[in-house]
Structure 1
Amino acid sequence: MLRNYLKIAFRNLFNNKAYSLINLFGLTTGLICFWLIGLYIFDELTFDSFHKDAGRIYRIIEHKTSATGKESKIAGVAWNISDRIKKEFPAVDNACRLTVFGRSPIINDENRNTFYEDYYAADAAFLNVLDFPMVQGDRTTALKAPYTVVVSDEMALKLFGSKNIVGKVIRTNREGTPYTITGVMHIPKNSHLDFNLLFSEATSITSSNDFRNFTTSDWSSNTFATYIKIKAGQSAPGIASGINKLVATNRFANADKSSFTLQPLKDIHFYSSGIDRTPGPGSNIMYMYVFALVGIFVLLIACINYVNLTTALFSTRSKEIAVRKVSGADQKNLVSQFITEALLLTLIAQVLALICVKLLLPAFNAFTEKQLSLGTSTNIRIWLGILLITLLVGLLAGIYPAFYQARLKPFLLLKNKIQVAKGHLSFRRVLVIVQFSLSIIMIIVTLVVYLQLKYIGKKDLGFKKDQLVVVDINSRAVRNGAERIKTEYARLAGVKSVCVTSRVPGEWKTLPKVKLQKSGSQAPENETMYYIAADDQFLRTYNVGLQHGRNFMQAEGDSTALLVNEAAAHMLGIKEPGEQPVDVSGIQFSGEFTAFVRPMQLRIVGIVKDFNFQSLREPLAPMVIGYKNNPIHAIDYFTAKVAAGNMRKTIKQMETVLHQVDPDHLFEYNFLDKQWELFYREDQKRQVIFLSVTCMTILIACLGLFGLVTFAARQRTKEIGIRKVLGASVSHVVMLLSKDFLKLVLIASLVAFPVAGWAMYKWLQDFAYRIHLSIWLFVGAGLLAALIALCTISFQAIKAALSNPVKALRSE
């Protein structure tokens, strides 16, 4: 029977080539979109799952509440917590520490390759708890000895051009002793930790008395990211309770309340919003739900096409169904036949889709910055999903047409007395409404994302970021020679102005905060404000307006001068700057504030116009600008406003100037406007994804609509001929065939508007600065969908209207 079903299925595919191609194209396109999105979601959902026993690994989070009720969460704890956990908690299998000490030049004496990289240090247990794949070396001993380092396979190739480098040495500017490479590891893209070098923590203990003394008594810092692996069957909340008791027993009492929880390793990627010291940008689980819905939408639209076209074409198979029933076929046989046809078409579409996905993956990986694959190494769950989706799509597309056609009575089929029942017609119309509702939702989503990103790109930030080149200061020699370098930069023909700062607007490193209040204030707690240091050319270079008071002066005595933005002035209750004294009692780079031994007394000399120095997802915050020679934070950047002419030549000249001061300094620079674009890189990716899927959704829906209109025109050939003979115009016939479908698009718009409006309202809440959802945006999306539908309908409608009525009547 199966052979017979397949034979008839192939015959029907070839007998209705146009409709078969429409269905095949729709299902293939839907499956391509579904699998590209599905592979992306699977990769995201399996973040950090490559670690053995990932389900038993946790990160320790400290929750702090200040005396005034301010809450914070920090993914870093004190040294002694991890050290004592292994000794005193039988439920803990192992524990490890990881910390980062800023950036260092990495030097390979064999070929003088130099790179600046973050200096991560980990204890000997790190590679046993978090078992990154080792390309070379022994994970149990790689980080035991001082002056040893494990490098990523990518860094191995950058430094030596080979992964076979165990035993070779590299140097940094931190210690004079070279580091021996004891291992090469692979860092998968779906890891929340992303580093190129992992230095032995024993190095810091051996080489630094200060570090050794600090760790001995450390029960209160947030310096060390700490991971623990618990034994099978043990309770994570129970261990967290034990950690709280351990710290309470050993830590000195302070004003802040503190508690500890354990965060599952697999939750870090999606659930670390608001947790300080979490590496990487992380993600939002809501986007996974959205992408999943988008993938299901486009596949559902393709299935609806199949249902609509198959049920519309049932009359062409009425005699076949009748003869089969008269010959003894029961409803079960006919249902099996029609479902086999749907499964066959779905299987062909699935094979074509997987071939296309395989070809598209390199470009898709480059776009999404992933390492997705489809082959023998692909997770078995993906292949099981492919098999399951093939069956589900085949059944979803085929089950209604199968049961509908199988229940028709043979006598009526032979007499051609079958009428399209109202219920059936209504069902098909509902499916068209669903198709275009989903299409209009996707159009609105794409438009809103595009308009929001366009708004962000053009919004006045309070400063000018174009034509600004930011050069890193990475050595003491360059920092000491900053005035000389700045003077030489200013003399270059391509440089309009230049300044030095500790941080820049749009900072890609940590933007510090200070605790500040008016001197003599009785406030229970100091105000928290962002802090940068700058010179007297900062306002001119960045085009920041001075509202009141004065700018910095090139004088040593101005090292205690401060500029504040309008938000900070309002918070402090200052309307006119008059050298008001303020006290700065501490600074925070990440984690907890570091209190000064005694508050630093500074003075406010000017108020500058508010400017955005963070992503526009964040509201404008109070900012303090200290003078470059301040005791709080040293300068870290040159910023040069360059002319738009020969920029490459100007940058080369800037590099030459810097190397005159420090020949070994690696010249690192960034264009500030490009760095700002990185804030919205993920949103731009989503915009492209939504745009691509929207185009595919509309294309599939229009192909289905085209098929339905073609069938409707064929069914009404005699009616059209009579109307034309009686004097009906071409426009009248076109309207006759179009109006019913356009009504469905109108209904689809009314369904789509509230759904899309609610979804986009929720998305825009992520931005402190956002567009308003105008009614005209929705009306425009509906009109666009109607126009696309009308163009699709009109092609076939005009063809039918221009046909010879005599020929139509004669053929009838």
Structure 2
Amino acid sequence: MLRNYFITAYRYLTRQKGYTLLNITGLTFGMACFLLIALYVVDELSFDAFHQDSDQIYRLLETKTSGEGKTTKTATVAYNVSAQGEKSFPQIVASTRSFGMGRANISNPANNNVFYDDFWMGDQNFLKVFSYPLLEGDAATVLQEPYSVVITPEIALKLFGDKPAMGELIQTDRFPTPFKVTGIFKEIPSNSHLSIRLLFSEATMHSNAEYAQFIAKDWTGNGFITYIKTTNEASIETLTANLNKLAKANRKEETGQRLISLQPLKDIHFHSAEIENNLGRTGDIFYVYVFSIIAFFVLTIACINYMNLSTARSAKRAKEVGVRKVIGANRSTLMGQFLTESLLIAGISLVFATLVVHFALPAFNEFTEKKLSLDTTTDIRIWLGIFGVTLLVGILSGSYPAFFLSRYRPYEVLKGVISGERGNLSLRRMLVICQFTLSITMIIATLLVYTQLQYVRNKNLGFDKEQLVIVDINSGKVRKGAETIKSEYAKLSQVKSVTVSSRVPGEWKNLMQVKVKSESNPSADGTDSYILGVDEDFTNTFAIHLLQGRNFNPGAPADSMAVLINETAAKALGIQQASEQLIDIPAVSNGGVASPLEKPMKARVIGIVKDFHFQSLHQTIAPMILAHYSNPLQYIDYFTVRLSAENAAQAISQLESILHQIDPAHLFEYHFLDEQVDLFYREDIKRESIFIASSFATIFIACLGLFGLAAFTAQQRTKEIGIRKVLGASVGNIVTLLSKDFLTLVLISFIVSIPLAWMAMHQWLQNFAYRIEISWWIFALAGILAISVALLTVSFQAIKAALANPVKSLRNE
């Protein structure tokens, strides 16, 4: 029976080539889009799940509540919270700590291959807690010895080429002694929140007396990213309470409150956006939901196409059903036949969709910065899910046609009387409305995403980001020779201005935060403020407007304790006029925890600058202190050079040459600030592209169905059109006649989609502190686009029918 179903289905589909092609194209397109988005979503949801016992691994967080009630959460804790906790509580199987020492000069002592990379140290338990597989080395011992390092294959190739890396030495500028390669990671999965490429042994530090003394007493700091692995039966609530008791018993009395909490490893990716000192990029569960909905939108539209086209052709198959029933076929047999047809089409579509995904994945991976695959190496659960979805698509898309067609009564269809056509027509109209509602909602969402990101790209940031080259200061020699380098830079003909600073607006690294007090600001803890160390040319180079007061005087030692503040800081501190009033900076804020300075910094406010965006537009402008670069809290990290538009490449070469005169071994690192600022919105741009592609997919698939329905309608009304033309109807009259019903359905869809799109996009815009208003013209434009595309789709068939010779359609009458 099953074999007969497939043979019959194959014969029918090959006879109806146009109908089959439309269905397979729509389902292929829908399934390919669904598979790509599904692979992306599955990868996001499986972050850090590849570790053995991942459900038993937790990251330690610390929540600090100030005396004024302000709460901050950090992903770093004191050393002894876990070190002593592991000894005290049997629920902890193992703990591991890592900490960063900034970017370091990495080199192979045997050659001149030098580059910069993040310098991370981890203890010997790192690979006991985490199950990162090794290509070479023993996980139990690779980080046990001082001056040992585990690297990725990428780093091994970069440093040693094709030569075996095990046992080779790596030199850094953090320690005079080179590190020995004791292990090589397998390629670290892209869905890991840790993306360490070199991991140096923390045992190296144990020979340092100051470090040993520090960790022995460290109960209050926030220097270590810490993870614990618990027993399977451990009570997390009890363990959390015990860790807090242990920490509190060993800390001195403090103002405010500090609490330890345990964050499940699998929660880190999606639930760390507001956590300070978080390692790695974070995800957004909101977009996982959004993209999941989009994937089902596209697939649903493709299934609706099949239903519509199948039921539209019901009259063509009515006599087939009648004859089959007369010779003994029952309803279940007919339903099996029609479901087999839909499953066959779904299966063929899956094959084509898989091929499309295979060829699209390299570009998709590059775009999303992932390593997705759909081949023999793909998790069997994903393949089972794909086949399950295909089966579901085949059943859903074929279910209504099967139920509808199989219910015909033989005596009715053989007489030419088909019941239920009105109900069928109503359902088909509803399905078209559903299709275009989803499609227009996607178009509106895409237009709003595009408009918001254009707003972000073009918004006045309060400084001029164009033609600014940022040159990194990565060595002591360059830092000591900064005045000389700056002076030589300023002499270049293509250089308009140059400045040095500790950080820059649009900063991608952590900005230092401080507590600030003034006479007008009696807060017990002080105002939280960011701080930059800058020189007298900073405001000019960045085109930041000085509202009142004065700038730093060049070469004036007296200004080393002077500061400029932004408007937000002036308001928070109660300063209306810059008049050399004193402010106190008693503490540096590290991860929300205020560390008192041995000697509070007393500064004079000499000027107020207009607010400028030193972070992304996702955040509101915060108080900012522009201190003189010789302040006691910071040292300079960057040259910023404003270039003229012509001969930029030649100017950059000259900048490199000047820097190498001071330090020939120093790697010249630079980037354009506007490109760096754009990276703030890298994830938003990806999402914009996915929205655009999904919108195209939904409208394309919907129009495929509309094209098929229009063709079938024109075919059904061939004789009517012939009679109308004979009676004097024009081509325009015929086109209007055939188009108006479909356009009415699209117009209804547009009306239904407006509130749906508004609610969804209003929620999305809340992610931006600075955002556009949702304007009526976006909805109008989406409606015009949808109606225009639908009109073009229907008009092709309508015009073709209107231009046909009526003699051909009427000769059989």
For Structure 1 versus Structure 2, the TM-score category normalised by the shorter chain is over 0.9
Which deviations, in whole Å up to 9, do the C-alpha atoms of 1:687-707 show, x marking residues without a partner?
A: 111111111111111110011
Distance in 2 between residues matched to 1:44 and 1:553, nearest whole Å: 52
Q: Give distance in 2, aligned partners of 1:574 and 1:519.
A: 9
Query: Would you say the 8 A contact 1:163–1:184 is kept in 2?
Result: no
The match for 1:627 is: 628
Deviations 1:560-615 (A, max 9, x none): 11001111111112222111111111123535222112321110001111111100
SS at match of 2:172: coil
Structure 2 residue 112 is matched with structure 1 residue 117: no
> Structure 1 CA distance, aligned partners of 2:168 and 2:454?
50
* Residue 648 (structure 1) shift: 1.1
Partner of 1:280: 280
Deviations along 1:157-202, whole A, 9 cap, x unmatched? Answer: 1111147311111111222111111111132111101111111111
Matched residue of 1:171: which SS? strand
Within 5 A, what are the aligned runs for 1:275-424?
Answer: 275-419=275-419, 421-424=421-424
- Within 5 Å, which residues of 2 pair with 1:681-692? 681-692=682-693
Q: Mapping of 1:574-593 within 5 angstroms? A: 574-593=575-594
Work out whether residues 272 and 278 of structure 1, in 8 Å CA contact, stay in contact via their aligned partners in 2. Answer: yes
- How far residue 744 of structure 1 moved from its aligned partner, in angstroms, is 0.5
Structure 1 equivalent of residue 165 of structure 2: 165
Contact 2:499 2:639 (C-alpha < 8 Å) held by counterparts: yes
For 2:680, the aligned partner's letter is F
Is residue 559 of structure 1 aligned with residue 582 of structure 2? Answer: no
Residue pairs, 1:217-296, within 5 angstroms? 217-296=217-296
CA deviations 1:760-785 (Å, max 9, x no partner) are 10000111111111112112111110
Aligned to 1:61: 61
Aligned-pair identity in percent equals 52
Tell me which amino acid in the other structure corresponds to 2:434: V
**Greater Cα offset, 228-237 or 345-354:** 228-237
CA contact (8 A) 1:472 1:667 kept: yes
Match of 1:81 in 2: 81
Counterpart of 2:597 in structure 1: which amino acid?
A: F
The amino acid that maps onto 2:414 is L
Correspondences of 1:711-790 after superposition (within 5 Å):
711-790=712-791
Cα distance in 1 for partners of 2:629, 2:63 equals 35
- CA shift, 1:520, in A, is 8.3
CA contact 1:55–1:265 (8 Å) conserved in 2: yes
- Which stretch of the first structure deviates more once superposed, 463-472 or 228-237? 228-237
Q: Distance in 1 between matches of 2:162 and 2:510?
A: 33
Corresponding residue number in structure 2 for 1:606: 607
Structure 1: gaps of 5 or more residues = none
- Alignment check: 8 A CA contact 2:520 2:575 kept: no
* Partner Cα distance (1:542, 1:560) in 2: 22
CA spacing shift, 1:163–1:70, aligned 2, 3 Å: farther
What do the CA deviations read for 1:353-382 (whole angstroms, capped 9, x no partner)?
111111111111111111111111111111
Aligned with 1:454: secondary structure?
helix
Change in 2 beyond 3 A, CA 1:520/1:547: closer
Partner of 2:137: 137
Q: How much does 1:521 deviate?
A: 5.5
Counterpart of 2:574 in structure 1 is 573
CA 1:515–1:316 in structure 2 vs 1: closer, same or farther (change >3 Å)? Answer: same
Matches of 1:330 and 1:522, distance apart in 2: 88
Distance 2:88 2:332 in 1: 68
Query: 1:748, 1:605 → 2: CA distance?
Result: 61
After superposition, residues 32-51 of structure 1 pair within 5 angstroms as 32-51=32-51
Matched AA of 1:483: E
Distance 2:498 2:458 in 1: 24
CA distance in 2, matches of 1:461, 1:609: 11
Instruction: Tell me how far 1:27 sits from its aligned partner.
Output: 0.2
Q: Is the 8 A contact 1:64 1:256 kept in 2?
A: yes
Aligned match of 1:501: 501
Corresponding pairs, count = 811
Indicate conservation of the 8 Å contact 2:64/2:593, yes or no.
Answer: no
Per-residue deviation, 1:519:
4.8
**CA drift at 1:420:** 5.2
| CA shift in 2, pair 1:267/1:12, >3 Å | same
Amino acid in structure 2 at the alignment position of 1:807: K
How far off is 1:85 after superposition?
Answer: 2.0
SS in 2 for 1:441: helix
Work out the CA distance in 1 between the residues paired with 2:391 and 2:92: 45
TM-score, structure 2 normalization:
0.98
Structure-2 separation of matches of 1:322 and 1:387: 34
In structure 2, stretches of 5+ residues that fail to align are: none
Contact 1:63–1:71 under 8 Å retained in 2: yes
In the alignment, the residues of structure 1 paired with residue 565 and residue 812 of structure 2 have an alpha-carbon distance, to the nearest angstrom, of 86
Superposed displacement of residue 522, structure 1: 3.5
Q: Distance in 2 between matches of 1:564 and 1:811?
A: 89
CA contact (8 A) 2:61 2:262 kept: yes
Query: Does the CA-based 8 Å contact 2:6-2:341 persist in structure 1?
Result: yes
- Does 2:544 align with 1:544? yes
* Contact kept? 1:502, 1:637, Cα under 8 Å: yes
Per-residue deviation at 1:734? 0.7
> Whole-Å Cα distance in 2 between the matches of residues 109 and 493 of structure 1?
38
TM-score by length of 1: 0.99
**Between 251-260 and 731-740, the greater mean CA deviation after superposition:** 251-260
Q: CA deviation at 1:281?
A: 2.1
Contact 2:66/2:525, CA 8 A, preserved across alignment? no
* Mapping of residues 141-160 of structure 1, within 5 Å: 141-160=141-160
Partner SS, residue 593 of structure 1: strand
The answer (yes or no) to whether the contact 1:76–1:591 under 8 Å persists in 2 is no
**C-alpha contact (below 8 Å) 2:521/2:572 kept by paired residues:** no
The answer to whether structure 1 residue 478 and structure 2 residue 478 are counterparts is yes
Cα distance in structure 2, aligned partners of 1:147 and 1:65 = 39
1:428-447 mapped onto 2 (5 Å cutoff) = 428-447=428-447
Q: What is the rounded CA distance, in whole Å, between the counterparts of 2:741 and 2:762 in structure 1?
A: 32
Aligned to 1:94: 94
Counterpart-to-counterpart distance in 1, 2:214 and 2:574: 40
Quick one: distance in 2 between partners of 1:534 and 1:320? 84
Counterpart of 2:305 in structure 1: which amino acid?
N
- Give secondary structure in 1 for the equivalent of 2:811: helix
AA partner of residue 183 (structure 1): G
Aligned equivalents of 1:188 and 1:252: distance in 2? 42
Question: What whole-Å deviation, never above 9, does each CA across 1:327-348 have from its counterpart, x for those lacking one?
Answer: 1100000000000000000000
Per mean C-alpha deviation after superposition, the further-off stretch among 517-526 and 323-332 is: 517-526
CA contact (8 A) 1:153 1:163 kept: no
RMSD: 1.2
Residue 285 of structure 1 and its aligned partner are, at CA, apart by 0.6
